[in-house]
Structure 1
Amino acid sequence: MSSATSAEADDGFVPPIRGLCAAGLALASFMQVLDSTIANVSLPTIAGNLGAGTQQATWVITSFAVSTAIALPLTGWLSRRFGEVRLFLGATLAFTLASLLCGLAHSMGFLVAARTLQGFCAGPLFPITQALLVAIYPREKRGQALALLSLIVVVAPIAGPILGGWITDNYSWEWIFLINVPLGLMATFIVSNQLKSFPRRTEKARMDYIGLASLMIGVGALQIVLDLGNDEDWFESDLIIALSVVSAIALLVFVIWELTDKEPIVDLKLFRHRNFRNGTLAMVLAYSAFVAVVFLVPQWLQRDMGYTALWAGLATAPLGILAIVLAPIIGKYSSRIDLRLLATLAFIFLSITCFMRAGFNLQVDFNHVAGVQLLMGAGVALFFMPVLQILLSDLSGSDIASGSGLATFLRTLGGSFATSLTTWLWSRRGAEHHAQLTEHISAYVPGVTEQLTELGQGDPIRGAALLDVGVISHQASQMGFNDIFYLLGWVFLVIIGFLWLAKPPFGGKAAGAAGGH
């Protein structure tokens, strides 16, 4: 994709109206990033309308994330084979079509298949948008263009829950996907019109088919295991055992092949670099924990607190306020501070907010929930840039682009797995707490029979059933929620150790590239 950076010097290339072209490129990226979170608050409604359970509804999130991750390593090969502009236009149109199919879904299976297609098309969109922005702007203005893209990464996930909640409450959940159709067509029209004379250099680049096939089979089978495991009673199921074996073999083949192939689709040899290895591990773990938070809070607000989709979105939205305010300040002054200190402060903020949520109960009010989200935003603002710069700091040349791509791939994959594992853990811990709570309901405990009779309006059996459904189930779910956040609080603290295994300097050869990939 680097060949495009000198596009303006090519004969026949008419420079676009940069602001308009950047708006078209940004619109497509906004649409893609938005779709990673817009369905979060709508999952209970989607599950109810399509006759699916809560765990099945999680597939709407995980199918998108895992297919996006698998498509990411293909971006370089696709751009060389078809050209940057053609890849952007094709991916945007295909994403738009997949969004239309999502909106027309009549069953959970159809929706998950459409989301898988949508995620696969989303994979190349963000990196190819970066490449085209760098190509159309002169060197001295590229920072501003990439800052616009960085703002989209922050704003879109925040806008997603609010927009998704408002659409779901006021119209229907299908429109959270159908809204992409006019946006996608508009982005396609603008970019195709502005970059119609953009030079197209293509080559019949070699494709690592074995690496790609083993990656798709290994990751796909593992994701199915995580999604279906709880429903199938894990390794009591022959299907889960078979899929686990397939996944293990495919991933083993993938690792061996990628380490020995001359042109691997994923360059695993980059892990020989100390800062890349430790920085990537910190990034993947932290992002996975972050995704668990972003996924779990709106589900809890609707399931146990009785919030509508819109109010769940509004309660979670303050997460982005401090992130937007602090991001430019941190970018300006970060070079004067040890990046490990910045990231450590970030993870302390994230850990504290998780421990605060671990103390929530069913009486917690909107302001308290929103306040914790606001405080978490400080951690988010301090997190991404320092860790990205650390992991790229001991790479140089083409390794910087490869390292950024590999870290993004693993980060996206980690987020997908985190969603499935969070769903499973919440269900498991809730069931365990439910069993413990019901043990204390007995006719032999003084006062219990009278309370159940009163609750059941004279019928103690009916009262026990109402207590189980209305009080115990929500209380058990709340206790499971608290357990997960207690665990996440410790995860963020443990990650700090990986950061301090990295060694400075963190500037120099990779510092300038950190924001551009």
Structure 2
Amino acid sequence: MTDAALSLDRAQRAQALGVPETALTADGEVDWARIFLGFGGMVVGQFMAMLDIQIVNSSLTQIQSGLGASADEISWIQTIYLLAEVITIPLAAYMSKLFGTRLFYVSAVIVFVIASMAVGLAGSYETMIVLRAVQGLAAGAMIPAVFATAMTVFPLDKRVTANVITGLVVTLAPTIGPTLGGWLTDALSWRWLFFINLGPGLLVIFLVGRWGGFDKPDPSLAKGIDWFGLIVMTIFLLTMQYALEEGASEGWFDDDLILWLSVTAAVTGAVFIWRQITYRQPIVSLAPFVNKEFTLGAIMSFIAGASIFGGSFLIPIFLGQVLQYTATQVGTTMLVSGLTMFVSAPICGRVVRSMDLRVSMVFGFGLAAWATALGGRITADWGFYEFAVLQAWRSFGVMMAMIASQQLSVSTLPPHLMKDASGLVNLLRNLGGAVGLAVLSTVLTHQTAVHLADISSAVNFGNLSSQQMLETLTAMMEQRGAADPDGAARKAFGGLLQREAVVLGYGDAFYFLAAGCVLAGAFALLVGPARAQGAVPPPSERR
């Protein structure tokens, strides 16, 4: 038999088995060890990239002190990472097809590890911001590749399991980020938030470099790169992300910079979409959106992203600002989410595999909505138990909804669109997180002001209960030796009112987040009958 015939036989056998040709041994058998080692390395890399989004959350005060940065400046340690990340996420599909998954992924991990070490050694705020941007660019290249590989490397009967793994990473990494970050900062120093990437990074480089040859590069894509589309896309994503991140704190369109950035984002966004539709070789293929199931799944991934990042934003901030928890205490409380996701992942995978995807999504988003709504009754007296109940049920629901929506996105897509679909889903999920954070910040600020006005108008110092409270506070200030006990008491009384308004504002924000989950569940009802790829259909559907 000729070499061409042998090659044809291998290609046909690989297609019949639902695996890439590179996964076959010389005897034509599937080399599962190679697949799992290479894919496992990519999963670890994706986990690192997503972990670094939230790992700094519980340690911003310590980083601020270490670098001598202001309160406004320090928030950019997270913002710049997300800004850089959204640039490379949509480019990842194009670049991995051009260079091949192995070379592109390993190169991204090498840059990520070097940047992580440099961030940990940074001696100034300005240096750290630049290096965090480089780290974010590399992370954005690493995140989408895992999902695309899972959908193209594994046969149908194993794709749900692979999707459970990717879903676990997507939800677990940003959730345990504050936990791990708080422990590392208190035990060692904030610099270890970045040094910790060295060991896993070297492992990923070895595993993917040795066993990650899942596809072949396509050098022809280097001809005719759409540089205009790339520039427009970069401007669009940067201006949109910045406006979303900073809009709430700057009063949105009351600020001239936010207004013009929003206009720029709208114009360049329209130009970018037009360019990708009309150009012969688009850098970001929008073809998957023609598929109804992908579009609906992508919308639900967007809302799920808002839920994941929104919950991870509200709870740690409340614990730190209102309850005055330390970094370790915040991390310990948030650990419930991570443990729940880890334990529930295989359960959710089995459930999603066994039933119509619509049922899984409606149940998952419904459970997440109910659990999140528990936060609407939050008080300053809440302890570990109340937060644990909220996080456990919410995490279980989000995990199921995430796995089901990811499965829906690719349930009817052909293999050649998987890489493009992966980049789009990851981009939309991150944008959902950015939109969610921006909207929640606005809701929190606005509702706190509304509640403070309502409470202040209701307080009357001629009221007996108000007088008693003020007298009690005055007596306390006298015991503490205050120079002006009456003035100090009035100031403390105002602080109590402010605290109560803040707590009520957080309750409204939790209700708003729950409403988003309800909206996602409603979208699931628009989906036609669909089952997870690789699921066994019920007897009534078998031929």
Q: Name the TM-score class by shorter chain.
A: 0.7 to 0.9
Amino acid paired to 1:341: V
Structure 1 residues 110, 465: CA separation in 2 closer, same or farther (over 3 Å shift)? farther
Map 1:19-418; keep pairs closer than 5 Å: 24-47=41-64, 49-50=66-67, 57-129=74-146, 149-192=166-209, 194-195=210-211, 201-205=217-221, 206-418=224-436
User: 491, 505, 508: which is aligned to 1:480?
Assistant: 505
Q: 1:54: Cα distance to partner?
A: 5.8
Contact 2:352/2:400 (8 A) holds in 1? no
Supply the AA of the counterpart residue of 2:183: W
Per the alignment, in what secondary structure is the counterpart of residue 35 of structure 1? helix
Work out the CA distance in 2 between the residues paired with 1:509 and 1:263.
32
Which has the larger displacement, 375-384 or 28-37? 28-37
Residue in 2 that maps onto 1:515: none
- Equivalents in 2 of 1:111, 1:162: separation in Å? 22
Q: Following the alignment from structure 1 to structure 2, what is the Cα–Cα distance between the partners of residues 373 and 440?
A: 34
> Could you tell me how far apart the structure 1 residues matched to 2:437 and 2:118 are?
23
Greater C-alpha Rg: 2
Q: Unpaired segments of 5 or more residues in structure 2?
A: 1-13, 479-483, 538-543
Aligned to 2:11: none
Equivalent pairs: percent with the same residue? 28
Gaps (5+ residues) in structure 1? 513-517
C-alpha offsets along residues 256-288 of structure 1, whole Å, 9 cap, x if unaligned? Answer: 212222332333343333222222212211221
Which residue is 1:463 aligned to?
Answer: 489
Separation in 1 of the partners of 2:288 and 2:216?
30
Matched, 1:489 2:514: yes
Distance 1:307 1:326, change over 3 A: same
Structure 1 residues 132 and 115, CA, compared in 2 at 3 Å: closer, same or farther? same
Q: Which piece of structure 1 moves more, 214-223 or 200-209?
A: 200-209
- Give the Cα separation in 1 of the matches to 2:33 and 2:353: 33
Q: What's the secondary structure of 1:287's corresponding residue?
A: helix
CA deviation vs aligned residue, 1:10-53 (integer Å, no higher than 9, x gap)? 99xxx897476555444323322321332222234434555556
Q: In structure 2, the residue corresponding to 1:312 is in which secondary structure?
A: helix
Specify whether residues 273 and 484 from structure 1 end up closer, same or farther in structure 2 by C-alpha distance, changes over 3 A only. Answer: same
8 A contact 2:236–2:266 mirrored in 1 = yes
Q: Which residue of 1 aligns with 2:475?
A: 454
Aligned residue for 2:433, secondary structure, equals: helix
CA RMSD of aligned residues (A): 3.5
Q: Distance in 2 between matches of 1:137 and 1:399?
A: 15
> Secondary structure at the residue paired with 1:318?
helix
CA separation of 1:144 and 1:445: change in aligned 2, threshold 3 A: closer
Q: How many Å apart are 1:305 and its aligned residue?
A: 0.9
Q: What is the TM-score when the length of structure 2 is the normalising length?
A: 0.82
For 1:270 and 1:31, the matched residues in 2 are separated by 28
Shift of 1:188: 2.4
Is the alpha carbon distance of 1:352 and 1:239 closer, same or farther for their aligned partners in structure 2, counting shifts above 3 Å? same
Take 1:381 and 1:347, find their aligned partners in 2: how far apart are those partners? Answer: 9
Deviation at 1:356, TM superposition (A): 0.7
Residues in 2 aligned to 1:152 and 1:54: alpha-carbon distance in whole angstroms: 31
Contact 2:373 2:514 in 1 (8 A): yes
Aligned residues: 506
Distance in 2 of aligned mates of 1:425 and 1:55: 20
Equivalent AA in structure 2 for residue 503 of structure 1 = G
Contact (CA 8 Å) 2:47, 2:169: kept in 1 or not? yes
Does the residue aligned with 2:420 lie in a helix, a strand or coil? Answer: helix
- How far the C-alpha of 1:455 sits from its partner, in A, is 4.0
Which has the higher mean CA deviation after the structures are superposed, 227-236 or 246-255? 227-236
